[in-house]
Amino acid sequence: MADLARAVARLLPGWRIRGATLAGAGTLEAALAGLGPGPVMVYPHFMADGWFVRLQIPERLRAAGRPEAAVLPPFGLAPETAALALRLAREGAAAHGLAPEASTLLLAAHGSPSDPRPAAVTRRVAAAIARAGHFRSVRVGFVDEEPRLAVAARLAGPALCLPFFAARNSHVEVDLPEALAEAGFPGPILPPVGTDAAVPRIIADGLARAALARVA
């Protein structure tokens, strides 16, 4: 997250940008202290507006004494994210010698059994990719809700998997490949969407739009 924050800062000269993880004790508080006084915007590097974005981040901000900080829509809801996912899928197919029009794309995400928002975001992105018409078919599968990846990945013929995740975490490194191996998935697993080199620009543009909206 520190590296990502530095990459975003290079695109926004004059801004104070800090990175923090909710899992790291004290990292959010340290980042807020590093920003100093004045208005604060929080850009959630999450794929959906689920529990962490709607409840946990505001709660942590209140506990840190910054309840006024504006929590922006997360990365997965950015208008550029679906287009990025499509580009990564097409480039991934080409890199592995797969013809998109003859291949199935599996969009793999975390999901949530208690909140429909994460799956809804994943399905919207999958639908946008399907509408582009490059792949034979587009399917979704989840770590934590139906359809489970171990079932959704049971495919015949050429296929590839694009992890709809913000980072290369344990779900991407462990849960996802284990589920695909169980299903006998016939294709490669691409890097997660949220780790692409285009991500800092998407975040910077989102911050700049939000700043303009605040002064308009």
**How does pLDDT run across 161-199, given as a tens digit for each residue?**
999 999 998 899 999 999 999 999 999 999 999 999 999
Together in a domain, 117 and 190: yes
Is the whole-model pTM more than 0.75?
A: yes
Residues 114 and 179 in one domain: yes
Q: Say if residue 42 is in the same domain as residue 90.
A: no
Average pLDDT, stretch 8-17? 96
- In the chain, how many domains are there? 2
How open is the CA angle 176-162-18, to the nearest 5 degrees? Answer: 90
Query: Are 48 and 139 found together in one domain?
Result: no
Listed in order, strand segments (DSSP E) in the chain are 41-42, 70-71, 104-109, 137-142, 159-163
Interstrand relation of 104-109 and 137-142 (parallel, antiparallel or unpaired): parallel
Same domain, 148 and 171: yes
Residues 124 and 168 grouped into a single domain: yes
In terms of domains, do 95 and 173 share one? yes
Which CATH number fits the domain that encloses residue 72? 3.40.50.1400
**Pair 190, 209 in one domain:** no
Same domain, 111 and 160: yes
Domain that holds residue 33: 2-76+198-215
Distance of CA 173 to CAs 69, 74, 77, 201, Å?
Answer: 33, 22, 24, 25
pLDDT tier at 24, thresholds 50, 70, 90: confident
Q: Do 134 and 161 have their domain in common? A: yes
User: CA-CA distance, 211 to 103, in Å (whole number)?
Assistant: 41
70/86 same-domain check = no
Q: How confident is the model at residue 96 (pLDDT cuts 50, 70, 90)?
A: very high
The yes-or-no verdict on residue 216 having pLDDT over 80 is no
